[in-house]
Amino acid sequence: MYDMKALYEAKSTAHAIRLLQEHPDAQIIAGGSDVLVQMREGKRAGAELVSIYGLDELRGVRMEEDGTLRIGPLTSFSHITKDPLIQRYIGVLGEAVDMVGGPQIRNIGTIGGNTCNGVTSADSASTLFAWDAVIELTGPEGVRRVPIRDFYIRAGKVDLRPAEIQSGILIRRESYQGYKGHYIKYAMRNAMDIATLGCSVNVKLSDDKKTFTDIRIAYGVAGPVPMRAVHAEAEGRGLPVTEESIEMISEAVLQDVTPRDSWRASKAFREHISKVLCRRALVEAVRRAEAEDVQEAPDRDSGEYGNQENRAAGTVGSCADEIKSYVDEIRSYADEINGPGGTNQYKLVRCRINGVEREAVVDVRASLTDMLRNDYSLTSVKKGCEVGECGACNVIIDGECYNSCIYLAVWADGKEIRTLEGLMGPDGELSDIQQAFIDEAAVQCGFCTPGVIMSAVEILESGKEYSRDELRKLLSGHLCRCTGYENILNAVEKTMKKRLAEKRQD
């Protein structure tokens, strides 16, 4: 159970704002990968939470009529990476958020939560700085838009007014058209670690590719908040694209960065790698700009605007009529807070678990781990770290892997959930991936094994062929303390190749 005073589930953006007005001490919870972990650590113990996790109107990526890319704040990192609009126009953002945590964290973590927590190490933040992002905020007064450089006030503090929520992240056409970029994250580990320093660079070259028309250089962990290296940018504009220019620009970042000493790295080391990362990111950004033609935003009548696959359905706009409509809707929620989805401590959750329709009355403070173990005796779902780091509680929800310890049980309503028990045949026979773990000696104590196998199931069911390095990354959300990781890789790789061979024969 989480130590929370109350959980209020918002039914719409306007309802969320109304709930925040009625409960001024309440805090927003989106994906929960930060809030629930901090609650477990005691930092937010006893807090009231307003959950916006169920608001699909704040999910997705779409292109507006003027070519602006709108990213819904509840869009998960994994969905940003896979989104075709992101890949086509600002692929470096997808690359950056693909370095957050492990696969399960990227499935639950949201870009809105990553920016609203105000931390300087957020991988999305420095990259959004390099794209000149604009943060859209909606509250009782309507809608306002704030450049991301002004959104961050100080460490852990952003410009969110009382009862406001982030309703969109906007990348204007002029901010991405003609630019190519690269992001580098320096960390102690290849996964499940925050950045020691992050550097995101975008460049725009002249038509002949010989001159820097524009440069944007952004950093995370180089100061108390994400920042732009404005002196280095000014130094580089108009310079020829040469090694000497790149070296000069990289040296100039020391006029801007203000890192500190910490247990992760010294100030001197961070200053050193700020130059190194800038140089490397510039070289790669230039290579990409030279190798590829500029991606133009589509014409208004091309059919790409409003593409249903990329729409954040119902996302609030900025015109006066929409603002008035939102304010009117907010005011209409006079007495609903204590009704269904309000302060009730218990909620009926209906879902499908391992192919069987289930329903249970759950405490809103319970995690999905609690529900699966206590209500359905699915003990393959292990309680390990309970902060989303070890992966022992990993299950598949609607086809994607999640750490069930940082997934509230009430969010499971209407979902399709699979655990290790669901892999076995009617007479208890093992699936091919379970047998492969035995054959390859990928099991010792077995505590972490169910979670790892469920990640393997997601990998195998994609039907794709992955390299060994790609498999490492896809399994990086798991910690095992007693088995060689190579054996786990062998089991997954063996099963993958066997299934692919069988598919080719068919």
pLDDT value at residue 306: 46
Residue 67 DSSP symbol: S
Q: What integer pLDDT is reported at residue 292 of this predicted model?
A: 73
Element (H, E) at 94: helix 91-97
CA-based nearest residue to 212, from 190, 235, 188, 185: 235
Strands 416-418 and 346-353, bridge-based pairing: parallel
Tokens read off for 195 = 């950045």
**d(C-alpha 16, C-alpha 333), whole Å:** 10
CA distance linking residue 448 with residue 478, whole number of Å: 8
Q: Full-prediction pTM beyond 0.85?
A: yes
Per-residue pLDDT of the chain (506 residues; tens, 9 = 90+): 999 999 999 999 999 999 999 999 999 999 999 999 999 999 999 999 999 999 999 999 999 999 999 999 999 999 999 999 999 999 999 999 999 999 999 999 999 999 999 999 999 999 999 999 999 999 999 999 999 999 999 999 999 999 999 999 999 999 999 999 999 999 998 888 999 999 999 999 999 999 999 999 999 999 999 999 999 999 999 999 999 999 999 999 999 999 999 988 999 999 999 999 999 999 999 999 999 754 555 554 454 554 434 433 334 444 445 545 554 554 454 334 344 444 579 999 999 999 999 999 999 999 999 999 999 999 999 999 999 999 999 999 999 999 999 999 999 999 999 999 999 998 889 999 999 999 999 998 999 999 999 999 999 999 999 999 999 999 999 998 887 799 999 999 999 999 999 999 87
Residue with tokens 């696959």: 309
Tokens 């269904």 belong to residue: 340
What pLDDT is attached to residue 471?
A: 97
Q: What element of type H or E holds 70?
A: strand 69-71
The span from the CA of 352 to the CA of 138, in Å, is 35
Structural domains of the chain, with CATH: 180-294 (3.30.390.50), 346-505 (3.10.20.30)
Q: Is 135 helix (H, G, I), strand (E, B) or coil?
A: strand
DSSP 3-state of 140: coil
- Looking at residue 190, its pLDDT comes to 85
123: nearest Cα among 152, 86, 94: 94
Single out the residue of 499, 451, 440 nearest to residue 477, CA to CA.
Answer: 451
pLDDT on residue 424: 92
